[in-house]
Amino acid sequence: MEIRPELKTCAKIALLLLLAVISLTRIAPFMADPSNHRHSIEQTEEKIGAVITLSGGAAATSATLSLLPGDLGTPLAEQLAEMATYFLLILSALYLEKFLITISAHIAFSVMIPAACLLWCLSILLKKKFLRTIALKIALMGMVIFLIVPASILLSDMVYQTQADTVNGTIEEYNNLDIDGNTDSGGAIDTGGISGTTIDSISSFLGDMLESLAVMIVTSCVIPILVFVFLAWIIKIVFIPGEKNE
């Protein structure tokens, strides 16, 4: 027995409404629970801890050099102070990434997917194909919003693990760094400035700090942007321009 078109239409609408309700009431709360993203949060917090240590190390070393007599350490102090600013920017990006782990999933399944389902229902009732196309785009954009953060964290972590020894080595080098001025027999700081050995150790520390800064910029800023661009490119090639509204 053939099913009447009206029943098929009602079944499609009912299925879409059910999907919208499930996405809003079941999937969205599940995805917004931080305990379900423990691994991603832990990986992000690991990088946050490293950046905080490096930022504090750069700022503390810069402040120490600026207090020592003589002008020999001034250029190094200025470079370290500038790097501390960059580390703070990276830290802000990492905290934003940490917040978006749950927020992006919540937005995708509580707003984008239900909106796409409702718009598709409207396209069935009004028999407008362009509404269905818009609904598909909204749904795909919702999935991109949902996937961009975990995908970028996964790729960033893969790259970061290959360079983790560099970052950890820089942190260890900071912990072992000894900065002091030359002192005379009475214990007073000599106005001649800091020793050449200290300058060499600080210069080595500065070079390792620059390398660690590059690693953090790539893993925390460049890779997330590239992931977003890649997913946006997928949307562009899936929905070929030139569709006509009906």
Q: What's residue 72's pLDDT?
A: 63
Q: What's residue 63's pLDDT?
A: 81
State percent of the chain over pLDDT 70: 83
Q: What's residue 20's pLDDT?
A: 92
Q: Which two tokens stand for residue 55?
A: 């930022």
Rounded distance between C-alpha atoms, residue 32 and residue 24, angstroms: 11
Q: Is it the case that residue 203 has pLDDT exceeding 60?
A: yes
| 57-69: pLDDT as tens digits | 888 888 877 776 6
* Cβ 78 vs Cβ 63: under 8 Å: no
Cα R_g (the chain), whole angstroms? 27
Q: What's residue 71's pLDDT?
A: 66
pTM: 0.75
Lowest pLDDT segment from 23-37, 88-102, 106-120, 178-192: 178-192
Instruction: Name beta bridge partners: 183.
Output: 189
Instruction: Name beta bridge partners: 194.
Output: 181
Q: What's residue 23's pLDDT?
A: 92
Strands 189-194 and 181-183, bridge-based pairing = antiparallel
| 127-171: pLDDT as tens digits | 888 888 889 889 888 888 888 888 888 888 888 888 888 888 888
Q: Is it the case that residue 122 has pLDDT exceeding 60?
A: yes
